[in-house]
Every structure is written in C-alpha cells, then in structure tokens.
A and B are shown apart, each in its own frame.
Chain A
C-alpha cells in the first residue's frame, strides 16, 4: 500500500483507508485546479498583451511597481508554503494534533501578512500614482490578475478557518485529512501562481 496514488503528499501506510479514498478525491481536486490554472493562464496571456499595448498614456509598470514590497510578499508566501509543508508532515506522521494546528496557524498568519502587504501596495499605487484600474487597460488587467490571486488566497484563509473548526469538532478523522490534503494542494498552487506573477509581472516589468 505504499504506492503513490496521486501527485503530492500520499498517506501511504500511515492511514491506508484514507490513502485509498484519496486516490479519487485528491485526483478530482487536481483536475479542478487544472481548470483554475487555465484561468490564470488566460489572465497571464491577456496581461502579456495589455501591459505593452494598454498603457494609453497612464503610468507604466516601471513607474508604479515596488520591488522591495513585492519581494516581502513573495517571501511571506513562500514561507507559508514551507509551514504548510510542515503541517502536512505533522498530518501524516504525528498523532499529536498540536503540531498540526501550530503549523496551520503559522501558515494562516503568513497568508494574512501577504494579503496585508499586497493591499498596502495597491493603496500606495493608488494614492501616490493615481494608478486605479480605471486609468488604463494595463492597470485593469494588472488589478484583475493580482486581484484574482488575492481573492484565491483570501478564500484559502477562510478555508483554513473552516478546517480549524472541523479539527476542533471532529478531530483528525478521514474526512478532515482529505480536506487538509486538498487545501495543501490549493495553497501550494497559489504559491506557484504567485511565483509566476512575481517573475512575469514584477521582475520583467521592472527589467530595463
């Protein structure tokens, strides 16, 4: 029973009934995430076009992006992926729910930090540069792309709260485990998307 049933964390022998159930459930979630990725792919494609052709006399990427702030956002999110990884290990190997809860708590805090930093960044762009989405096509897609990611992360945080409640009520039973495994995939995928945003939007936007 130690075979890999799906990409990502497999429970293997530590909980073989849930391991079996995960094959279908987690695979289904992966597939759903593929359509989510398709959504981001199309957003990126639109960004590629509009960040060049859609500036329309408004501020250009170089003028409004702040690399330092986005770097902090990136670090917060990457760190949150690490803490979620630790939570997943606790889920798999630990009977002790405290470690799991602590790592999840840390993930939540880092996620919230990310949201706060990003919101501050937007506020700065709007107040200092008047860069609202209504100004140009480029800004429209910039806010839509980063905003879609933002909403995803916020939904992830809500999901974490729900899982905290479920952990408290049901303990770490099969259903809760399966949901945490899916939340992990969701969370890491958002990280991947952010890395793409960081490189593709911010780094290349600031490149001379």
Chain B
C-alpha cells in the first residue's frame, strides 16, 4: 500500500546516507553538492521569512501574469541553474586534469552523471529559459503590445520549466540522475543496462520542459501574428522579433519528436514495449532519428534568438540602422527551414549509405550560407557607424570572430568522411561549445546588459561588466581550444580518464579556462550586487539609456505595467528613432483610456507544483501519487475554466498619472551625448541626433 505512494524510494537513496555508509572522496563530493543545495534552499527560506518577502514574492511575482515579470523569472531561474552546471563543468575539468595518473576526484559513474546533468541543465534549464525569458520580456514591448496572447499559459510554461529544474535539483539529494548523457541513447538507458531511477529523472525533466516550450512557441507565434500595434507590419518588426517568430515555429514543431522519444523510452523501460530494445523488433535507430529530429532544430532554437540579440546590439551600439534588414529576415527563415533537413549529421557513422550521408552533409553545409550572410550584414552595420564598445558590443565583436571559428569546424564536421574521424571526440565537444558559449550564452549576457535598465530602472555597472567579459572571453578560448587539439589526437568525449601524458598540458589549460569562466560568473553576481547598491547613480528613469531604436525604449524604466499609455505610432523599422526624430517620443496624450489587464492567478504555480510532483512520483514508480497529482493538474485546468472574473481594469486616471509622472522625469533629465552614456548624467534621455 505504502509502495503505491512512495514507490521505490528508500532511505538509502538519500545522498547523505550513501556518504554515511561509504565515506570516500567520490561520495563526499556528491554529499557536498547535495548539502550546498539543501543549505541554499534553507537560507532562501530563512531570508524570505526574516525579511517578510513571502507576500511580495507571491503577490508581485509568482502569481503575476505580466510578461515582463515572467521573463525576469525565467532569467533568474536560468542563472541559478547555470551556477550548478558551470560548477559541474569545473568538477569535470578538475577531475580530468588530475585523473590522468591516479583515481582523480570522482568515480567513473559519477563523472557520467556529471556530464549528463551538465549537458541536460545547460541546454534545457539554462539556455532555453534564458532565451525564453529574454523573448518574453522584450518581444511584446518591441511590437507595441500590452502582453502576450495567452498570459496565463505563459505563466504555466514558466512553472513547468521551474518544475523540471526542481526535478533535476532533487536528483542531487534523492537517488541519481541519468548517466546516459544529455541525449540519453538507448539501449544504454534501457531497463537492462540502466535499471535505476537515473534515466527516469532525465525523461521526466525533459518532458516537463518540452511541454513548457511547446506552449511558449505557440504563445509567441500567435502574439507576433495577432498583437502587433497598428502600423507594425511584419517587415517593420525589429529583427529580434523575426528571430522570435522563427524560434517559436521551431518550438511548435520540434518538441513533439522529443516528447515522443522520451515517452517511448519510458514505455520500453517500464511497460515492456520494444521501441528501442535490442531484439523483439526494437530498433535503436528509431531513437536516434526521433531525438535528432528534435535535436537539430533545437540548436537553432538556441541560436536564432541570439542572432536577434546580436542584430539589436550591433545597430544600437553603432548608432546606425541595421544593414541588410531584408536579407537578415530571409536568412533567418532559411535557417529555420533548413534546420529540419539536417538531423542525420548527428549519426553519420550509424550505418546509412554513403549517398544518404552525402545528401545530409551537403544540406548541413548549406546552412553556412545564410549564416554567412548574417555575419556580413553585422560587419556592414558597424562600417561607417559610430561604434561604442559597451559591454554588449564587446561580446558581439568577440562573437563574430569566435563564432566564425565554430562555424568553420561545423562545416568540417558536416563532411561525413571527416566526421568518421572525429565523431564523438573532444573535437565535437569543442565545436558545440564554440557555438553555444560565444553564440547563445554570450548573446544572452549581452541581452541582459542591454535590457536590464528597462527591467529594473538602472544600468548595470559597466566596469564589472567588462570584468565579466575579460574573464569569460579568454576563459572560453582557454577552455575549449585545447579540446580541438585533443580531439584530433584521438581524445573521446565522455571519457573519465586520459592516461596519455601528452594530454596533460591541454587538460590543465582547459581546467584553467573553466576556472576563468567560473570567475566570470562570479563577477556577474558581484556586478548585479554592486549595481543594485549604486542604483541611484545608475538610474535611467526617462527610459532610453542607449539611444535605442525600437519601441521597447519608449516609456519609462522600469516599464509601465501596461507597457504603453496609448498606442505608439509606427512608421519605420526603427520606430522609436523615427519618433525621436519627429519630436514625438515624449508627447503628452490628449486622452487616456481604461486598460484591461489579466488578474493575478495562483493556477500556474499549482499546476507547476502538481506536474512536478507527478513527474517525481513517476521517477520513483509511485504510481498512486503520480496518478493523483496528474489528475490534480487537470482538475485545476478544468476548475480554472469556470472562473469568469479574470481581468481587471486600470482606470484611465491612473494611466494618465503614470504617464505624466514619466513625462516629468523626462523633463527633469538633461539629454546626454553618447560620449557621456556611462556617466550618472545619463538619466535615460538621449541627445537629439545631428
């Protein structure tokens, strides 16, 4: 009976008990990680209680349906998860560097768990929430909308993602995560070879987060199609919005194969089905195809929003209209379409004929063409511009150089004959980190620097931002260039021990790079703390700290809850620049209207909690708990559909008061020249262009 509710969960599964029973270094590291997590949670709870922050947290954040707050919560979640994943990367690096001659820090199984959680977290719980958060915050503002099309669903997506993060975190304390890598290939992850709870943690974390992403994709696509303000034709959207659109479409179609693949794996493991088993008609290739049918579009989900961010950064900090807008739009769409035609390059070595490989290899190389177009457009945006090397621009220029390098190694890998040599080697690990770190991660850091003032009302401290850059930039090169070399020397990925002494210097270099990146992250945390402390000097209440070009910079910082007091006028791609040039950016309005906004709701939190519980129960085969929690999710959904009073009205008078207060701030601010952008004189009002 109890088994139905607790499943296979036992005391022995608690990481601390494991350490108690076998107190060696490996278990000590696991117990320390679990202890850190528990301490962190307890400390957060105490802090919230002592400061009396529970109410504001609940009222202003967790139950909020405001797209801006949801966006910020996504980013916060991602940064917490990043702390864990980057720490794990450092443990792996330290282990490999010291493990060449003796046992090293962790046992082989533990090493496998580390690269599996690191990869899974980095992709699904760092990169995805980061870009979903930025898209959430920025996109509705850029198209002049008050919110996304389905605000409640938006919050549900967030809470499902948070539940996935919770599940992966719990695996630190209870039991073990998968050792099958972020791609979880069977038969290794099947019941015969991995009978424990590990692959189930992986399966359900991915399921939760991919359902969240599907809903996000739908929500954003509809918002972009239906919520653009009058005058904002598709071809007047900021380029970032185009990348959001393409990303959303990829999310709509690419998540289904993943959900299916993980569901099938679960059926194989627990219900005796034969999708991927050896024998009885199962076929591992089904998994490879399904997983990468998702996996390749996924890498473009990760990179397209980054391209959007870079486009905004280059044009803003060059003080110039984006070069080749149309070509960038078409290139983005071309990449999105092509991304569905190349999945096979992830398994060139798994038995197709040479002709099939060649076809997919060529398709893969084709993606280099639109990507190349983009790189030229960005370069030409800077040409003849007044380039300002602010933190986002430092990252952007670094990106141009390093991303080119990663792109070239990608084209190399796209050649099946070359791939046979370096498949699954450290060369590949170097390649994809080369795309993901300078591409996605640094774009998101640039985005945080760019839009932070709009979210919180003050700029981030520039000096500490440069420190972040100057730690992470060389850190990346040091951490991953050696991997190209080791890959060519025959070093394989997911290897716990390298005994060849030739690898030693490379491994130490990579370790040093990992430490630098970790230090860069620490600098980011310091930067946020310092900026909060000095927020008065960094404040930009007038709302336009960077002489911005698109609509999100119209209005105060932080933004109005309702985004815009009236409907902004759009007559150009650079809508805000045009408004400023015409002297219409800071006009009084004749009339104000009531604004309808969605009421707060606890439904997303409850759904997230129940879905997380259901997933956790599935991991431990506690069927009754799982069934109850799952039924609970749907009961809440159905119950919510009977709630009628879901909107609240912000009266026109309130809108007017807020708008006037902002205009007063604008009147009080002195327009600053870009030269003085970083001084306290910058209150968010840009000097008129000449």
Contacts and interface: CB of A to CB of B under 8 A. Distances in A.
A17 to B, nearest CB: 14
Interface in B182-229: 214-215, 217-219, 221-222, 225-227
Interface stretch (A28-36, A82-90, A192-200): A28-36
B147 to A, nearest CB: 12
A43 interface: yes
A46 B290 contact: yes
A141 B276 CA distance: 11
A207 interface: no
A75 interface: no
Interface string B92-133: 000000000000000000000000000000000000000000
Interface in A162-182: 162, 165-166, 169-170, 175, 179
B259 interface: yes
A137 B219 contact: no
A54 B214 contact: no
A53 B289 CA distance: 15
B293 to A, nearest CB: 7
B642 interface: yes
A55 B280 CA distance: 8
A106 B221 CA distance: 36
B283 A32 contact: no
Contact of B281 (A28, A34, A50): A50
A43 B257 CA distance: 9
A72 interface: no
B644 A175 contact: yes
B280 A162 contact: no
B267 to A, nearest CB: 7
A137 B218 contact: no
Given A24-B222, A31-B252, A166-B641, A136 B280 contact: yes
A16 to B, nearest CB: 17
B275 interface: yes
Contacts of A134: 271-274
Chain B interface: which size bin?
35 or more
Most B CB within 10 A of own CB, among A32, A43, A134: A32
Given A137-B280, A140-B273, A42 B149 contact: no
B260 A43 contact: yes
A42 B290 contact: yes
A67 to B, nearest CB: 24
A98 B546 CA distance: 62
B226 A39 contact: no
Contacts of B638: 162
B457 to A, nearest CB: 31
Q: Could you tell me the dominant secondary structure of chain B's interface residues?
A: helix
Contacts of B253: 34-35, 38
Contacts of A58: 280-281
B271 A39 contact: no
A35 B273 contact: no
B327 interface: no
A137 B222 contact: no
Contacts of B286: 46, 49-50
Interface string A143-169: 010000000000000000010011001
Contact of A39 (B222, B225, B260, B282): B260
B255 interface: yes
Contacts of B277: 137
A138 interface: yes
A135 interface: yes
A123 interface: no
Interface string B285-305: 010001001000000000000
Contact of B264 (A55, A144, A169, A179): A144
B333 interface: no
A53 B644 CA distance: 52
A27 B641 contact: no
A27 B225 contact: yes
B372 to A, nearest CB: 30
Contacts of B264: 140, 144
17 contacts: A27-B226, A28-B149, A34-B253, A38-B256, A38-B257, A39-B256, A46-B260, A46-B275, A56-B274, A56-B280, A133-B273, A136-B280, A140-B273, A144-B263, A144-B267, A144-B275, A179-B641
Interface of B: 149-150, 214-215, 217-219, 221-222, 225-227, 252-253, 255-257, 259-260, 263-264, 267, 271-275, 277, 279-283, 286, 290, 293, 638, 641-642, 644
Given A50-B275, A50-B283, 12 more contacts: A27-B226, A31-B252, A32-B215, A32-B218, A41-B256, A46-B260, A136-B274, A137-B274, A140-B264, A144-B263, A165-B642, A166-B642
Interface of A: 23-24, 27-28, 31-32, 34-36, 38-39, 41-43, 46, 49-50, 53-56, 58, 133-138, 140-141, 144, 162, 165-166, 169-170, 175, 179
